[in-house]
């Protein structure tokens, strides 16, 4: 959709008389020209892409394609077979276990002309200010800056959710459900509370069989009052049918937030306390579900980056110690993990009890 917006920006600069001679019909995702040519924007779904023949394919954000090897070899490449057409593949670098990496750095690099665009070219073209680059470099992790602005592949050896695992979970047809909607289904909510340095985040997953889809994720501004977060969850509970469980981080705030939620009429809400042992109990099943292919994510770069930011180390007792590097946030990660844990523990007997360990 973003690429199609760029196409429409170009069309807007064409003189009206010429435009009328060229274009027969304009739709949100399809432009039909009077000579029979078509520009069409499609999600990266084998079900929606099949059946087309193309002279030119632009595959954008290709590092995040699910089943990317199959998509390129069995779906996209055959579209060009009878036209001797052109394939343009562009993306922010991500996992080295991807077809995009193979096109750029791996065994297939000789088949493509390479165009490596960094912040330097953007500054030279007047698209960015050097001051902006300096600010971003000072506020981002070196790994993130290298990927986003130097356009280089970076390995994440101690990331709890590796880049290739996150990419495999992305569903091109999945989109976030807006807060104002009233969807039906079985939903599970995870709430990570923060205020001054950490953000409050509400994550909602939908469970259908064994498949868990992240369908809503909202991060509140810093200093947002807990009453506003409670009101947000209450409204979701009233609109969305049916929310089966809500797990709320009560670390550092005590029981009163959970009690306020219950008093406001939010049903099936339980408080949990973040300790290293509890974090392990929640994070391990979430990762296992992703490895099994049971978790689906929409393509959202802020979400993807924050899921990837969580780090871990093994303790001498064989347990995991979770942390995030200084200058980063992992609030979306933990809200997401709590929502998945709630969905996977639905059949467990009794309530989930908040525990504290020395």
Across 108-117, 162-171, 193-202, 348-357, least confident range: 348-357
Residues 190 and 259 in one domain: yes
pLDDT band at 254 (very low <50, low <70, confident <90, very high): low
Q: Note the pLDDT of residue 334.
A: 96
Per the CB < 8 A criterion, the answer to whether 284 and 308 are in contact is no
Q: Are residues 72 and 179 in the same domain?
A: no
User: Which domain CATH number covers 23?
Assistant: 3.40.50.300
Same domain for 42 and 181, yes or no, is: no
Work out the percent of the chain whose per-residue pLDDT is above 70.
Answer: 96
254 with 303, same domain: the answer is yes
> Does 91 map to a domain?
yes
Instruction: Note whether residue 353 is domain-resident.
Output: no
CATH of residue 262's domain is 3.30.420.240
Q: Are residues 136 and 278 both part of a single domain?
A: no
Instruction: State pTM to two decimals.
Output: 0.74
How many other β-carbons are positioned within 10 Å of the β-carbon of residue 303?
A: 21
Total structural domains within the chain: 3
Q: Residue 335's pLDDT is what?
A: 96
* 11-64 tens-digit pLDDT: 999 999 999 999 999 999 999 999 999 999 998 888 888 889 999 999 999 988
Burial 312-344 (b: 16+ CB within 10 A, else e): beeeeeeeeebebeeebbbbbbbbbbbbbbbbb
The pLDDT value given to residue 138? 85
Alpha helices, H only, 31-93: 46-49, 68-70, 77-79
Q: Assess if residue 34 is contained within a domain.
A: yes
Query: For residue 107, what are the domain limits?
Result: 2-111
| Mean pLDDT, all residues of the chain | 89
Residue pLDDT, tens place only, 159-177? 999 988 999 999 988 999 9
The whole-number average pLDDT for the span 98-121 is 93
pLDDT in tens, 56-97: 999 999 988 888 899 999 999 999 999 999 999 999 998 888
Are 243 and 305 members of one domain? yes
> Is residue 322 located within the same domain as residue 232?
yes
d(CA 72, CA 63) in angstroms, rounded, equals: 12
Q: Specify whether 314 is located in the same domain as 176.
A: yes
């Amino acid at each position: 959709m973003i690429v199609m917006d760029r196409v429409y920006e170009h069309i807007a600069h064409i003189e009206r008389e010429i435009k009328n001679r060229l274009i027969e019909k304009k739709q949100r995702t399809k432009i039909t020209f009077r000579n029979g040519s078509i520009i069409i924007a499609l999600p990266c779904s084998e079900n929606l892409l099949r059946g087309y023949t193309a002279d030119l394919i632009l595959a954008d954000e290709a590092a995040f394609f699910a089943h990317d090897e199959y998509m390129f070899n069995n779906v996209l490449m055959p579209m060009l077979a009878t036209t001797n057409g052109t394939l343009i593949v562009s993306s922010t670098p991500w996992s080295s276990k991807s077809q995009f990496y193979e096109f750029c750095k791996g065994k297939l690099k000789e088949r493509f002309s390479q165009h490596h665009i960094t912040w330097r070219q953007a500054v030279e073209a007047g698209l960015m200010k050097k001051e902006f680059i300096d600010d971003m470099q000072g506020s981002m992790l070196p790994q993130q800056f290298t990927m986003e602005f130097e356009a280089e592949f970076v390995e994440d050896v101690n990331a709890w959710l590796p880049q290739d695992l996150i990419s495999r979970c992305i569903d091109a047809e999945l989109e976030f459900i807006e807060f104002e909607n009233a969807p039906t289904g079985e939903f599970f909510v995870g709430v990570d509370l923060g205020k001054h340095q950490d953000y409050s985040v509400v994550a909602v997953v939908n469970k259908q069989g064994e498949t868990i889809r992240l369908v809503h994720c909202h991060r509140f501004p810093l200093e947002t009052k807990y009453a506003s977060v409670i009101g947000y969850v209450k409204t979701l509970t009233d609109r969305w049918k049916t929310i089966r469980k809500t797990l709320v981080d009560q670390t550092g705030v005590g029981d009163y937030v959970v009690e306020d939620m219950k008093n406001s009429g939010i049903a099936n809400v339980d408080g949990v306390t973040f300790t290293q042992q509890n974090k392990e109990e929640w994070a391990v099943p979430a990762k296992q579900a992703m490895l099994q292919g049971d978790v689906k994510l929409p393509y959202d770069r802020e979400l993807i980056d924050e899921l990837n930011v969580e780090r871990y180390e093994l303790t001498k007792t064989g347990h995991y110690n979770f942390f995030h590097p200084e200058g980063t946030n992992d609030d979306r990660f933990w809200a997401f993990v709590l929502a998945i844990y709630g969905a996977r523990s639905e059949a467990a007997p009794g309530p989930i009890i908040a525990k504290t360990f020395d």
